[in-house]
Amino acid sequence: MKLGHTIIPHIYILPSLSLPTHSRTRLCQPSPNNLNLSFPVSRKRAIRSMSDSIETGAETQVERRSLYPPIEPYNDGILKVSDTHTLYWEQSGNPDGHAVVFLHGGPGGGTSPNNRRFFDPVFYRIVLFDQRGAGKSTPHACLEENTTWDLVNDIEKLRQHLKIPEWLVFGGSWGSTLALAYSQSHPDKVTGLVLRGIFMLRKKEIDWFYEGGAAAIYPDAWEEFRDLIPENERGSLVDAYHKRLNSDNLETQYAAARAWTKWEMRTAHLLPNDGNIQKAEDDKFSLAFARIENHYFVNKAFFTSDAYLLENIDKIRHIKTTIVQGRYDVVCPMMSAWDLHKAWPEADLKIVGDCGHSANEPGIAAELVVANEKMKAFLG
Residues marked as catalytic: 173, 329, 357
Cα(345)–Cα(338) distance, integer angstroms: 10
- Could you check whether the bond before residue 139 is cis, i.e. omega within 30 degrees of 0? yes
Q: What residue type is assigned to position 47 of the chain?
A: I
Give the start-end residues of each E strand in the chain. 11-14, 75-80, 86-93, 98-103, 124-129, 167-172, 190-196, 321-326, 348-352
Beta bridge partners of 89: 77, 129
Residue 196, SS3 per DSSP: strand
What one-character-per-residue DSSP string does 291-339 give?
HHHHHHHHTGGG-SSTTHHHHTGGGTTTS-EEEEEETT-SSS-HHHHHH
Query: Which of 353, 252, 298 has the alpha carbon at shortest distance from 18?
Result: 353
Distance (Å, whole) CA 130 – CA 102 = 10
Distance, in Å, from the CA atom of 175 to the CA atom of 178, rounded to the nearest integer, reads 5
